[in-house]
Structure 1
């Protein structure tokens, strides 16, 4: 049977900043609420995304992503659905470390994170490559169910960058730059099989 591609329009939404983002720390799968700056970011995004017709916002299970989705859905007839596969990467022993500390103390690891993040696997954590496989499967499922709609996904970094790079069929940019990239969104058009 010949499989036909599904053309999807996906809003990849990064939650508002958390205290760790504000401090340039690696958050990974640590669950924390948004900071005051994060709430301001989401209020701005809500205004920017007001014209998009959305039926469902698919969201990572972390507190900052759920709070972002709730703020984006406020005043709209939009359902919020938590997708466990969109949980952030388990950064193992890197949780809570300053990104600058990684640059100074582990220059080879830092360089790999800049040049080829898919090759990274934090000690005691999940590899970027495994995370990519995990989220892409769920993105395909969500996109197929929402065939003619704009798909909205709220996921923390670096999962959001992994989703976006997979949809664009491009390598992921620097892990360290994306790690604290918050309160923004991108519309990606992609063919999914």
Structure 2
């Protein structure tokens, strides 16, 4: 069996400012660093053969913290980056509700109708992320692979595995920072055995969720 541990990065400064990140980057907050360390502690007795990470700094930093002092290779990969939101990136949610009102609404409520102002569609992202993870799984058949990525990228891949239409991309569960999704692969077919678990982040369970990417 091949196993993928799919992990969202820790909290960033853009997250708490409610800014769309996309291909832009923002460093982890102190809380984000703590979240990654808690996940590292949770996984300390889990054998991981290799860690792949989005090449964006917030994911790379999270991957390094999860690795800790384990002897595991970290491989940066551009195709694991977040959705390219181009001219919507760097703006707060309040700003986007004015400057990109229809696009902002469709992004969260009708993703199948979302037309980007530059950048990628949800369909294009799903194709990018699914092809790349399929390559990684084939390369590391029979191993356990950690992949550190981003909200929309991970939700897109979950939808791909569960054969959901783009319109249902934002169905629960919510992806908290450093949430852990586990996918098991038998004969090339993946099935999700754990969705967006945050048992290492007890304080997050009671917090109101915030829409950030």
1:119, 1:128 within 8 Å by CA — same for their partners in 2? no
Report the counterpart of residue 201 of structure 2 in structure 1.
Answer: none
- Per-residue deviation, residues 102-145 of structure 1 (Å, max 9, x unmatched): 44665543442234324423202111210110111110011112
Structure 1 residue 173 and structure 2 residue 170: aligned? yes
SS in 1 for 2:116: coil
1:14, 1:154 within 8 Å by CA — same for their partners in 2? yes
Cα deviation, residue 188, structure 1: 2.4
Report the counterpart of residue 199 of structure 2 in structure 1.
Answer: none
Equivalences for residues 19-98 of structure 1 within 5 A = 19-98=13-92
Report the counterpart of residue 182 of structure 1 in structure 2.
Answer: 177
2:53, 2:63 within 8 Å by CA — same for their partners in 1? yes
1:164, 1:188 within 8 Å by CA — same for their partners in 2? no
Considering Cα pairs closer than 8 Å and 6+ residues apart, tell me whether 1 or 2 has the greater RCO: 1
Report the counterpart of residue 116 of structure 1 in structure 2.
Answer: 110
- Per-residue deviation, residues 131-175 of structure 1 (Å, max 9, x unmatched): 11011111001111222122211012221222222223234116x
| The 10-residue stretch of structure 1 (95-104 or 54-63) with the greater mean CA deviation from structure 2 | 95-104
Alignment root-mean-square deviation, CA: 2.2
Q: Which residue of 137, 140, 149 corresponds with 2:143?
A: 149
Q: Which runs of 5+ in 2 are unaligned?
A: 191-213
Normalising by structure 1, report the TM-score: 0.83
1:55, 1:77 within 8 Å by CA — same for their partners in 2? no
Number of residues of Structure 1 aligned to a counterpart in Structure 2: 182
Normalising by structure 2, report the TM-score: 0.76
Q: Which runs of 5+ in 1 are unaligned?
A: 1-6
